[in-house]
Amino acid sequence: MFDTGVNILTYLSQGAWTTISIFLTATFFSFVMAFIAGLSRLAKNPLIRGFTTVYVEIFRGTSLIVQLFWLYYAVPMLFNIDLGSNWWVGVVAIALNYGAYMSEVVRSSILSIDKGQTEASIALNLSRFQRMRHIILPQALRLMLPEFGNYSIQILKGTALVSLIGLTDILYYGDIYRSSNLSEGPLAYLMVLVMYFIIALPLIWLSKQGEKMSRRGVAS
Amino acid sequence: MSATYWSWETFVDAFPIILEGLKITLGLTIASYLLAMVAGFIWLILESTPVKPFNFIVYWIKEFIRSTPPIVQIFFLYFAWPMVPYIGTSFTPFVAAMLALGIHFSTYISEVYRSGIESVDKGQWEASTALNFSTRDKWSKIVLPQALPPTIPMLGNYLIILFKEVPLAATIGVVGILSIARSYGAQTWSYIEPLTIVAILFLLLSYPSALLIRRLENKMNRRFDKKPKKVKVAE
């Protein structure tokens, strides 16, 4: 049984790169989206604020799987936009979905920075941009760390859905393996889970570190 | 693929058909949520036994379930569990999805319970011990009345999050709104309208409840004069 387990793992590892590459790219873009949307929701301009709020609420209010299908089936037909490849459809869906969730983290961390900090920086004649860059963001970033860690694990879990739009990730290879070795089904899926868990382990560790860092030396 | 345009006819035609799946989607949400609430409590008990190595194992099992994709867990229970020697039995798609999602979310819910209990001030425990309260009275009169209210908004959040995970069950053939929309799309080759209807239905149900929970949360924070608590958010 042990040998079979190792065999399955080697077989599954063919899909590992798809999973990891989607995970890394989607994480990067969801961070970008989170900051853009999080900061835009605090903007002065009501148009920017309104537009971002609609984006955030739509992507938070529906499921990732629905968004994925929508981007995969509906968007190319509706707007005649071709996202290039399934790989990009997956990345864009995940990045937009988690970007919306994480933008709330960005926004609430910025809002939780003490008002006195803003007032002091205004008194010191810092511009809006300088205030954000030098005073508010460095403090807010630390508060965001644990949540970002948690969301990175969520993103990894989300990547398993891309096999539904035909990408050859770990779950895809797991399904192929199971359908050709029916009796080894339980072991095959267990190994898929183990594989995802192995990828998640460093993320679990990172989010623990993030928690520690955000607690350290915070004046409250 | 050529550009097809939005057709209100298809929209009107597909809407009642998809709406029929809503009962199953909501049923599955509630069933898995109840399971998660009960199982979350079991995790809490398992993790607080005085046997250290046992707690360690339970902790990592929980972490394993929590950090692996729920869709794989659904596949595992539906496709693979019947093949497990001796204990394996086959489930209907609904039961398989309910078990998988229920167990997945129970790992988050147990954290909510725990944070609720931890939010009760240590002095309250000490005082009730000093006043010679029995264990039962301590829990029912002192601890739980303070521990439960702050968990209500968090539990509500998880209900909404779970609701958004339920369409995963469409992959094993639970006839909820998403699978009806997909088969409608496959039959008529128009995916735009049915999938948009699904998205609208999700928004209609989850957004108002999310607003309600946010208001509840603010109310609780004011009542307990606390900063908003951050919990791990599942997706």
pLDDT, one tens digit per residue, over A5-50 is: 888 888 888 989 999 999 999 999 999 999 999 999 988 899 999 9
> Could you tell me how far CA B126 lies from the centroid of its own chain?
34
Tokens of B135: 């264990």
Inter-chain CB proximity A66 and B199 less than 8 Å: yes
Q: Which positions in chain A touch B166 (Cβ < 8 Å)?
A: 63
Kindly write down the DSSP assignment for every residue of B189-206, as one continuous string: S--HHHHHHHHHHHHHHH
pLDDT for B230 equals 52
Which of A79-83, A164-168, A191-195 is predicted with the least confidence, judged by mean pLDDT?
A79-83
Inter-chain CB proximity A73 and B6 less than 8 Å: no
pLDDT for B70 equals 94
Going by pLDDT thresholds of 50, 70 and 90, the confidence category of residue B235 is very low
pLDDT for A118 equals 86
Kindly write down the DSSP assignment for every residue of A119-164, as one continuous string: HHHHHTT--HHHIIIIIIHHHHHHHHHHHHHHHHHHHHHHHGGGGG
Q: Could you identify the residue written with the tokens 């990732």?
A: A64
pLDDT, one tens digit per residue, over A105-156 is: 999 899 888 888 888 988 998 888 888 888 888 888 888 888 899 999 999 9
Report B:46-105 residues touching A (Cβ under 8 A).
63-64, 66-73, 75-76, 79-81, 83-84, 88
pLDDT for A197 equals 95
Radius of gyration of chain B (CA): 22
Report the helix count and the strand count for chain B, using DSSP H and E. Answer: 10, 0
Report A:164-193 residues touching B (Cβ under 8 A).
164, 171, 174-175, 178, 182-186, 188-190, 192-193
DSSP state of A217: T
pLDDT for A220 equals 46
pLDDT, one tens digit per residue, over B17-47 is: 888 888 999 999 999 999 999 999 999 999 8
Q: Could you identify the residue written with the tokens 């699904």?
A: B198
pLDDT for B34 equals 96
Angle, helices A185-215 vs A2-40, to 10°: value is 40
Kindly write down the DSSP assignment for every residue of B202-225, as one continuous string: HHHHHHHHHHHHHHHHHHHHHHHT
Q: Which positions in chain B touch A182 (Cβ < 8 Å)?
A: 83
Q: Which of A170, A193, A194, A196 to mutate to test the interface with B (most CBs of B within 10 A)?
A: A193
pLDDT, one tens digit per residue, over B42-101 is: 999 998 888 889 999 999 999 999 999 999 999 999 998 888 888 878 889 999 999 999
Nearest CA to CA, how far is A119 from chain B (Å)? Answer: 21
On the question of pLDDT at A210 being above 80, the answer is: yes
pLDDT over 70 percentage in chain A: 95
pLDDT, one tens digit per residue, over B207-226 is: 888 888 888 888 877 766 55
State how far the Cα of B219 lies from the Cα of A13, in Å rounded to an integer: 49
pLDDT for B2 equals 47
On the question of pLDDT at B151 being above 50, the answer is: yes
State how far the Cα of B118 lies from the Cα of B143, in Å rounded to an integer: 10
Is A199 touching B (CB cutoff 8 A)? no
Q: Which of B2, B7, B75 to mutate to test the interface with A (most CBs of A within 10 A)?
A: B75
- Here the ipTM equals 0.87
Is A61 touching B (CB cutoff 8 A)? yes
pLDDT for B41 equals 92
pLDDT over 70 percentage in chain B: 93
pTM value is 0.87
C-alpha closest to that of B26 among B164, B154, B152:
B164
State how far the Cα of A176 lies from the Cα of A12, in Å rounded to an integer: 10
- If one compares B152 and B222, the residue with the highest pLDDT of the two is B152
Sign of CA dihedral A205, A209, A210, A212: positive
In chain A, which residue's Cα lies nearest the Cα of B84? A186
